[in-house]
Amino acid sequence: MSTFTAGSRSSSLGSSTPPIWARVLIGGVLLLAGLLVLGDVALATTVSTIFIGLIAIGVGAFEIGHVVWTKGWGGYVWQAGLGLIYIGLGIVLVSQPASGAVILTYVIGLLFLLSGIFRILFSISHWNEVGLIMFLAGLVGVLAGFFILMGLPKTGVWVLGLILGFDLISHGVAWLRYAWVSGADA
């Protein structure tokens, strides 16, 4: 059972749907941000790398702080070590964003490659349900991973920014589509 009030929907579970103007605003901002990122993917890659580094430093500090707060816990050595690794990674990413971008691009390339291989294997074992489309999705992942890894270190300059730009654009288009479809229902 849904109730309609002032352009937003509310279900019986208590969740509410944002009004159409908010969905259009979110979609437009994300779409514009994606286009700006694609305008200078190298700058977006550098900024993303520094941001990820700052987050890693914060997480590492939290891990070490947690060790201090929970002294009786048996895994404190491992947790403190993990915190130090996060801090070390964060410092490298912040102080040398170009090298850090290459490291992150290498990880992304490996993730694309491995996820593509797993999707291909999944498609073979579930051919009747998802076969061809999952196989094609896996093939795209394998090819993307292969080209990213074969292009290193040059791909480290632009891959993160390109992925971020396309992600923001697709997210913005999804929000605009959500507003469009919901607006047609109203």
d(CA 9, CA 54): 38
What is the tens place of the pLDDT at every residue in 128-173? 887 888 899 899 989 999 999 999 888 888 988 999 899 999 999 9
* Long-range pairs for 139-144: beta carbons < 8 A, 24 or more residues apart: 140/116, 141/112, 141/113, 141/115, 141/116, 141/117, 142/112, 142/113, 142/116, 142/117, 143/116, 144/109, 144/112, 144/113, 144/116
pLDDT at position 12, please? 47
Give residue 1's pLDDT band: very low, low, confident or very high (50, 70, 90). very low
Q: What's the pTM?
A: 0.70
What is the tens place of the pLDDT at every residue in 32-74? 999 999 999 999 999 999 999 999 999 999 999 988 887 766 6
pLDDT at position 75, please? 75
pLDDT at position 11, please? 46
**Between 41-69 and 97-125, two packed helices, what is the crossing angle to 10 degrees?**
90
Sequence-ordered list of residues with C-beta below 8 angstroms from that of 85, at least 6 positions apart, any chain = 60
Tokens representing 87 are 């801090």
